[in-house]
Amino acid sequence: MNLSRWNLSHILDRLMRRRETANLRMRVSNVTRQTVLAECVDVADRGEKRRKGLLGREQLALGEGLWILPCEAVHTVGMRFPIDLVYLDRQHRVKKIKSAVPPWRLSACLSAHSILELAAGAIRNSQTRHGDQLEFSPVLSLDGSAVPSSAHSR
C-alpha cells in the first residue's frame, strides 16, 4: 500500500470513528475491476438521513448514490425510480448485488454491514460482482478540503 493511499484510508477511518461522515460526499471505486461505481455518494450514518434515504427525490443520476451504514435491509416503498443495491461487509467487500430494484420492494442481506444505493445501471456499467473489493474516498475540492453533501445539487 502506498503512503498516499494509507493516509487517505487513515483519515477516512478517523472520520468514521468521529461520525463526521454525514456531511461528506464519497467516491466509490471497484478496486477489483478498476472501475468507478459513483463519483458523488452521500453518507447516511445516523438519524434523519438514514430514515429519509432517497425518498422524495425525482431521480438519481448516474454517478450519484447513498451509502447507508450500518444497514442490512432497505425498501423502495414510495420511491419514483429503480435503484441498484450493493451490500457490503465491514471490509467493503461485495456480499450481494441487486440491479434495477423497482419501487415498492424490500431487499435484505443479513450478513451485510452497509448498503450502497446507486442509480440503476451503475452495477452493470462498473461490472461489479459478488466478492469484489470497493474503496471509498472523500470527494475533495481543488484546495484539498472535503466537499460537503450540500455543495452538490440534487
pLDDT in tens, 73-114: 999 999 999 999 999 999 999 999 999 999 999 999 999 999
What percentage of the chain reaches a pLDDT higher than 70? 76
Better-scored residue on pLDDT, 114 or 1 = 114
**Every domain of the chain and the residues it spans:** 3-142
**What pLDDT shows up at residue 146?**
55
Whole-number pLDDT of residue 33 = 97
Beta strands in the chain, from DSSP E residues, in sequence order: 25-30, 35-44, 64-68, 73-75, 83-88, 94-101, 106-108, 114-119, 134-138
Q: Label the pairing between strands 25-30 and 35-44.
A: antiparallel
CA dihedral angle for residue 34, residue 35, residue 41, residue 45, rounded to 10 degrees: -40
State the DSSP H helix or E strand holding residue 125, giving kind and residue range, or none if neither.
helix 122-126
Which of 1-10, 36-45, 132-141 is the most confident on average? 36-45
Query: Which of the following CATH numbers is that of domain 3-142: 3.20.20.70, 3.30.300.20, 2.60.120.1140, 1.20.120.80?
Result: 2.60.120.1140
Its sign, for the CA torsion 48, 54, 55, 57, is: positive
What pLDDT shows up at residue 141?
A: 58
The model's pTM: 0.79
Q: What is the mean pLDDT of the chain?
A: 85
